């Protein structure tokens, strides 16, 4: 009996003795903070955890105190495939952007940085050599932005640009329109800054609607004032996009109606965020077409009529509403917050 028990015992193998191939698979499931701890376990694990493939999607984050360590960081074996960089609350200079231009960095985020000491030509050269740039509430001068946007119209590798909440009021409308239409994805939401001007917005949509070589596919204009943009140009431009975010924009009912009428007939739109809008005057058939055919329709805190509400329920099934607005016990309209994906309600929780 005892010999049987001894024979059934299995030898235990320490995880430190696992083959390197197995360890790499295990380490691949760890986040970067856990990988930092793995580096400290033993020399074998340190060598394995230094594999550049484990860190390739890492974003380097530097602030004012350590921003000068950029080159040293990029020379580390583990970071040899890293191409994402974020500066946080740093005062950047020309030398910083020259370093970035000469590195393999392709994605740059500058959160709350001060760029006013950077020569416009150095800033423009660096930004145009990258694929994705987010200015993220950084401080710049009007002249820097003018030079940057002008240079984008001439030649750029940019595919993504975020200038949300940047003061663009002094930028020539045509230059801004051209620059925006040269990039695949642009964010110009104005949460804390004044809206783009009517002429700037009109230039963006006019070039988008009529410029056959426009590269613009995704546009965020949240909280901009679109009142005086010609309705036909706005509707045509929006429907030339693949993704449009028009959350909390100021528009006339005619403009909203035209956007949905064009959408119902012919559109490139796959995703539309029309949250915090009044849709009560949109033709029910146009709204239903959008709900049933679009890959994504975001309608958070929007107002719709009882007829629209009942038709959407018939199309997608029962769904709740936030509240109703009534007069003399007659429901005038519903407030709803829903996201629809290909004709189905998507749980946003």
- Would you write out the chain's pLDDT as a tens digit for each of its 349 residues? 444 444 445 567 677 677 777 878 887 787 878 888 888 778 888 887 888 888 888 899 999 999 999 888 888 888 888 999 999 999 999 999 999 999 999 999 999 999 999 999 999 999 999 999 999 999 999 999 999 999 999 999 999 999 999 999 999 999 999 999 999 999 999 987 789 999 999 999 999 998 888 999 999 999 999 999 999 999 999 999 999 999 999 999 999 999 999 999 999 999 999 999 999 999 999 999 999 999 999 999 999 999 999 999 998 888 888 888 887 777 788 899 999 998 888 865 5
Contacts of 278 (CB under 8 A, 6+ apart): 253, 256, 302, 303
Q: Is 63 in a helix, a strand, or coil? A: strand
The terminus-to-terminus CA distance of the chain in angstroms comes to: 58
**Residue 219 bridge partners (DSSP):** 186, 244
Question: Are 278 and 323 within 8 A, CB to CB?
Answer: no
| C-alpha distances out from residue 297 to 131, 198, 263, 274, 317, Å | 28, 26, 12, 8, 16
Contact 156, 183 (CB under 8 A): yes
Query: What are the start-end ranges of the H helices in 51-90?
Result: 52-55, 70-75
Q: Would residue 276 be called left, alpha or beta, if left means φ above 0 and alpha means ψ between -120 and 50 degrees?
A: left
CA angle, corner 202, sides to 196 and 204, nearest 5?
80
Q: Rounded to an integer, what distance in angstroms lies between the CA atom of residue 178 and that of residue 214? A: 9
User: What pLDDT is attached to residue 11?
Assistant: 63
Query: How far apart (Å, rounded) are the C-alpha atoms in residues 270 and 258?
Result: 17
Beta strands in 156-289 (DSSP E): 160-162, 185-187, 218-220, 243-245, 271-273
The confidence score (pLDDT) of residue 5 equals 45
**In angstroms, rounded to a whole number, what is the distance separating the alpha carbons of residues 58 and 336?**
39
- Tokens representing 258 are 């035209």
**Are the beta carbons of 149 and 171 closer than 8 angstroms?**
yes
Structural tokens at position 19:
């083959």
* Cα–Cα distance measured from residue 154 to residue 82, given in angstroms and rounded to the nearest whole number: 28
- To the nearest 10°, the Cα dihedral for 38, 44, 50, 53? -100
Residue 191 has, within 13 A of its CA and on its CB side, a CA count of 6
User: Of 263, 262, 251, 275, nearest to 336 (Cα)?
Assistant: 275
The two tokens of residue 55 are 């860190």
């Amino acid at each position: 009996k005892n010999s049987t028990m001894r024979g059934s015992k299995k030898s235990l193998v320490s995880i430190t003795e696992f083959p390197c191939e197995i360890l790499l698979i295990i380490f691949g499931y760890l986040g970067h903070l856990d990988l930092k701890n793995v580096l400290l376990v033993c020399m074998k694990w340190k060598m394995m955890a230094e594999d550049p493939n484990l860190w390739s999607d890492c974003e380097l984050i530097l602030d004012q105190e350590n921003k000068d360590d950029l080159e040293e960081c990029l020379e580390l074996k583990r970071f040899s495939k890293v191409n994402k960089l974020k500066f946080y609350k740093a005062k950047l200079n020309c030398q910083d952007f020259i370093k970035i231009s000469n590195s393999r960095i392709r994605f740059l985020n500058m959160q709350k940085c001060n760029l006013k000491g950077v020569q416009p030509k150095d800033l423009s050269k660096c930004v145009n050599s990258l694929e994705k740039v987010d200015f993220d509430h950084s401080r710049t001068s009007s002249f820097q932005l003018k030079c940057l946007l002008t240079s984008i119209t001439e030649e750029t590798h940019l595919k993504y640009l975020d200038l949300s909440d940047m003061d663009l009021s002094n930028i020539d409308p045509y230059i801004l329109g051209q620059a925006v239409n040269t990039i695949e994805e642009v964010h110009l939401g104005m949460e804390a800054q004044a809206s783009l001007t009517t002429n700037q917005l009109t230039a963006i949509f006019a070039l988008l609607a009529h410029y056959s070589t426009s590269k613009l596919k995704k546009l965020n204009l949240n909280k901009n004032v679109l009142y005086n943009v010609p309705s036909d140009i706005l509707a045509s431009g929006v429907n030339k996009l693949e993704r449009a975010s028009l959350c909390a924009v100021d528009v006339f009912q005619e403009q909203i109606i035209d956007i949905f009428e064009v959408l119902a007939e012919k559109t490139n739109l796959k995703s539309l965020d029309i949250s915090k809008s009044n849709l009560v005057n949109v033709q029910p058939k146009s709204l239903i077409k959008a709900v049933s055919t679009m890959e994504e329709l975001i309608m958070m805190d929007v107002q719709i009529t009882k007829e629209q509400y009942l038709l959407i329920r018939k199309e997608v099934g029962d769904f709740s509403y936030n509240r109703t607005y009534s007069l003399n016990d007659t429901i005038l309209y519903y407030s709803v917050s829903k996201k629809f994906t290909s004709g189905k309600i998507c749980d946003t929780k």
